[in-house]
Chains A and B, each alone.
Chain A
């Protein structure tokens, strides 16, 4: 189980990779996967002005 650093909700992140962005199912905040064994997450980086595709 993963704990959301924003709202404290615990949820199953499933099969994820380091660097992947996931969404907290409770509060909807974007989270970045920091480690996978065990899975830990932090708040996703803020979108920069020059970000895009």
Chain B
């Protein structure tokens, strides 16, 4: 049985977990839940409570990042990024973004923003909180990773991961990784892993690719079975083990020469929507978005796959920010 949630969150804790709840498309019911792992306590609608004068986030909160001590809350369907202080109080807002998804800090002054549509990567000025430019990049760009002055941009609608030189803001290369690639991580050996979910409608198999971050070449890839549709690729705390969802949650050492056959955590009576790994504890946070129109369940598992806790967050939780 899971532990009982205690109704106390230590706001001064440095290990808090923010849960991003995107809400229902078109309903503007996004929210942020604040979870305190040390007290196993949660505050719902934390953003609303911190911004009583203007409590509405907008439509589809997509991601939350912390850059230069400020939070950047990306609101996809509202086409904006809300800039907040470290208490999540709104201090500014970046608009004129087509359909923002994720923020990748490049320097202290600038960051890249991927977009669902618009066929661009937006460049934002982190000092003035304005859009300072864009880089043409066709398709639905999703999660990004930065290494050696190169930004690797995954793409849900194209077969490629694009590479942008962050010094010149010019797209310099593309790597064929398969369709529907939305997650990307960099392991302890600076190898880049991209997970493509494939396209069952058009019989395109999912694949997990490892990219050499120096040569930008695919070193190898693992192909999934027909009807598999993996997603949500993550690394453990020591960056030597991969986790992903493929119905259940799978675990794979980075030096494995094959894909795992059976799940590390079964999904019996659960429907995992997204996972993330808490870098402080190594615990796996798994989201069950239920029927999309009720509060999500957040399951916490230890590194061995034992369920430690379950708590409720907002409508359609889609990710976390771990302090």
A and B: interacting chains: no
